[in-house]
């Protein structure tokens, strides 16, 4: 069995889709599956011991989508020798083109959607958008199975298709790589990991930090990630007078992430919209950390009783949730233990990967 994983983005700093595809490919290879990755641009993953096929062509400057007019012909040549085409991301050109080519080649195909966009509850708005692009709805009819990474992602893709057979298989995490320290004394070191983009709500977190530091000057926040908002966030930190308590780490390589989590006491994900899942939540929970997230997209599905969920865009409520945990180290420990147990039960790659592998075998 040979599987082609198709993704528009694959460099490790390009978000959760890239992380999911990378980890899935490694898990499949460990299980003896022949797997290749088809993508646009690879910068920091060239040393991955898996066949990577780069799709030629220019990319647009905003979303980095492949604009090549010969993309379909190139994919046809590549996909002839694979058994299943597994595309990732329902709103990108390369994975959608792979679905079309798979249909023409009569190869089974799967589409995993990782997306919840802004204002996802505006049903009539999104359905109007959907019917304005009939070719897109037709493309979704041609794929054999649609998988969503969360219930919220499933609800969103339903605006664009009448299919009733969409299933939920979440993102996974390597629970052998991300592990709790043997002994943990919870303190006041907060952590954010992810891209520095507007939907992540980092400005809300900085305003919350101002409130927190006014109460306790020993609280520290580390922000790991890169993005176009970095200069603005640094300026806001200085303007609020919290720059001595906030440290911007920039992009942190994958191999250093486990130690970063283990040296922290709490993960914060302050997203304000468009968060279908949140892989960093899994990594933190696997590392034994309590988490604080917002009531956005798939975040509540993951956290459940393993952390705190607050209203998005409210620095006051975010600060209150964070301080409530800091002032109760025993509760932090209990939430960290619950999070680890939940990840082992539902989100380890052995659990998630086997569900995907079973789907491949079903299609064959």
Residue 183 has pLDDT above 70, yes or no: yes
Residue 35 near residue 29, CB atoms below 8 Å: yes
Low-confidence winner among 183-187, 288-292, 335-339 (lowest mean pLDDT):
183-187
Q: What is the pLDDT of residues 8-43, one digit of tens each?
A: 888 766 678 888 999 999 999 999 999 999 998 766
Percentage of the residues of the chain whose pLDDT score is greater than 90: 72
Residue 177 included in any domain: no
- 38-52, 152-166, 265-279, 342-356: least confident range: 38-52
Q: Calculate mean pLDDT across residues 102-129.
A: 85
Looking at the chain, how many residues does it have? 364
Which residues on adjacent β-strands are paired with residue 84? 3
3-state SS class at 319: helix
Nearest to 139 by CA among 115, 161, 120: 161
List the one residue out of 312, 320, 304 whose CA is nearest residue 275. 312
Q: DSSP strand E in the chain: where?
A: 2-7, 34-39, 51-54, 84-88, 109-113, 145-148, 167-168, 189-193, 220-224, 246-250, 266-269, 291-294, 307-310
Say what the alpha-carbon torsion angle 235, 44, 347, 298 is, to the nearest 10 degrees.
40
* Chain Cα centroid distance, residue 48: 20
Which residues fall within 8 angstroms of residue 2, CB to CB, at 6 or more apart? 33, 34, 35, 36, 81, 82, 83, 84
Q: Would you say residue 103 has pLDDT above 80? A: yes
User: Is residue 225 located within the same domain as residue 254?
Assistant: yes
Confidence band of 63 (pLDDT split at 50, 70, 90): low
Q: Which residue is associated with the tokens 């069995």?
A: 1
Let me know if residue 83 belongs to a domain.
yes
Write down the pTM of the prediction.
Answer: 0.90
Determine the average pLDDT of the residues in 294-306.
92
Q: Are residues 15 and 154 in the same domain?
A: yes
Determine the pLDDT at residue 43. 60
Convert the pLDDT of each residue in 202-216 to its tens digit. 999 999 999 999 999
Alpha-carbon 154 to chain mean position: 15
The verdict on residue 182 lying in a domain is no
User: Above 70 in pLDDT, residue 143?
Assistant: yes
**255 and 127 assigned to the same domain:** no
Residue 40's contacts (CB-CB under 8 Å, 6 or more residues apart) are 8, 9, 10, 54, 55, 57, 59, 64, 66, 94
Give the CA distances from residue 314 to residues 97, 295, 326, in Å, rounded to whole numbers and listed in that order. Answer: 40, 11, 19
String of DSSP letters for 189-226: EEEEES---GGG-HHHHHHHHHHHHHH-TT-EEEEE--
What pLDDT band is residue 127 in, cutting at 50, 70 and 90? Answer: confident
Does the CA dihedral 93-115-281-227 come out positive or negative? positive
Q: Is residue 180 included in any domain, yes or no?
A: no
Please report whether residue 233 resides in a domain.
yes
- CA torsion sign for 97, 101, 104, 109 is negative
Mean pLDDT value across the chain? 91
Q: Please state, in angstroms and as integers, the Cα–Cα distance from residue 168 to each residue in 12, 171, 309, following that order.
A: 24, 10, 22
Residue 199 has pLDDT above 90, yes or no: yes
C-alpha separations of 35 from 7, 17, 38, 49, 290 in Å? 13, 17, 10, 11, 35
147 shares a domain with 212: no
> Is the confidence at residue 86, as pLDDT, over 80?
yes
Q: From residue 93, give the alpha-carbon distance in Å to each of 21, 157, 287.
A: 17, 16, 35
Are 40 and 10 within 8 A, CB to CB? yes
Instruction: Please indicate, yes or no, if residue 325 is contained in any of the structural domains.
Output: yes
**Which residue segment(s) compose the domain that 157 sits in?**
2-172+348-363
Residue 54 domain-assigned (yes or no): yes
C-alpha–C-alpha distance, residues 223 and 235, integer Å? 14
Query: Per-residue pLDDT averaged across 137-166, rounded?
Result: 92
Is residue 138 located within the same domain as residue 268? no
146 within some domain: yes
Domain count, the chain: 2
Distance between CA atoms of residues 115 and 154, nearest Å = 9
Query: What is the pLDDT at residue 202?
Result: 97
pLDDT for res 99: 94
Given a contact cutoff of 8 angstroms between Cβ atoms, the answer to whether 271 and 195 are in contact is no
pLDDT at 166 over 60: yes
For residues 20 and 114, membership in a common domain is answered with: yes
Distance CA 20, CA 276 (A): 13
* pLDDT of 313 above 90: yes
Share of the chain above pLDDT 70, in %: 95
Residues 151 and 220 in one domain: no
Model pLDDT, residue 44: 55
Place of tokens 């922290």: 264
pLDDT score of 146 more than 80? yes
CA–CA separation, 364 and 84 (whole Å): 8
Same domain, 57 and 162: yes
Q: Are residues 309 and 352 in the same domain?
A: no
Hey, is 37 helix, strand or coil? Answer: strand
Looking at the fold, whether 209 and 311 belong to one and the same domain comes out as yes
Mark whether 342 and 308 lie in a shared domain.
yes
User: What was the pLDDT predicted at 126?
Assistant: 80
Q: How far is Cα of residue 335 from the mean position of the Cα atoms in its chain? A: 22
Mean per-residue pLDDT for 149-173? Answer: 93
Q: 152: domain CATH number? A: 3.40.50.2000
Residues 125 and 10 in one domain: yes
> Confidence class of residue 48 from pLDDT cuts 50, 70 and 90?
confident
pLDDT band at 46 (very low <50, low <70, confident <90, very high): low
Per-residue pLDDT band at 239 (split at 50, 70, 90): very high
Backbone phi, then psi, for 16, in 5-degree steps?
-65, -30
């Amino acid at each position: 069995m040979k599987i082609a994983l198709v993704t528009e983005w694959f460099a490790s700093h390009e978000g959760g889709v890239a992380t999911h595809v990378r980890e899935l490919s490694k898990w499949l290879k460990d299980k003896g599956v022949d797997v290749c990755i088809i993508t646009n641009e690879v910068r920091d993953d060239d040393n991955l011991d898996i066949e990577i096929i780069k799709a030629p062509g220019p990319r647009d400057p905003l979303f980095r989508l492949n604009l090549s007019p010969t993309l379909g012909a190139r994919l046809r040549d590549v996909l002839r020798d694979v058994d299943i085409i597994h595309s990732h991301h329902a709103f990108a050109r390369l994975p959608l083109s792979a679905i079309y080519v798979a249909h023409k080649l009569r190869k089974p195909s799967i589409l995993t959607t990782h997306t919840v966009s802004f204002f996802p509850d505006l049903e009539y708005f999104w359905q109007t958008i959907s019917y304005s692009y009939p070719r897109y709805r037709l493309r979704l009819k041609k794929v054999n199975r649609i998988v969503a990474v969360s219930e919220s992602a499933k609800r969103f893709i339903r605006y664009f298709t009448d299919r009733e057979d969409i299933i939920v298989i979440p993102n996974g995490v390597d629970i052998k790589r991300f592990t709790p320290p043997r002994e943990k004394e919870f303190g006041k070191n907060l952590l954010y990991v992810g891209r520095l983009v507007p939907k992540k709500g980092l400005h809300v977190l900085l305003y919350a930090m101002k409130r927190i530091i006014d109460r306790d000057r020993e609280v520290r926040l580390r922000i790991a990630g890169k993005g176009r908002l970095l200069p603005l966030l640094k300026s806001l930190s200085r303007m609020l007078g919290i720059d001595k308590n906030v440290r911007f780490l920039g992009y942190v390589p994958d191999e250093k992430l486990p130690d970063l989590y283990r040296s922290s006491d709490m993960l914060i994900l302050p997203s304000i919209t468009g968060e279908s899942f949140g892989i960093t939540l899994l990594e933190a929970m696997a590392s034994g950390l309590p988490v604080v997230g917002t009531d956005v997209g798939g975040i509540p599905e993951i956290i459940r009783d393993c952390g705190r969920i607050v209203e998005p865009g409210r620095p006051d409520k975010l600060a209150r949730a964070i301080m409530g945990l800091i002032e109760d180290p025993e509760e932090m420990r209990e939430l960290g233990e619950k999070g680890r147990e939940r990840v082992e039960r539902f989100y380890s790659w052995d659990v998630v990967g086997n569900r995907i592998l079973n789907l491949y075998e079903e299609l064959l």
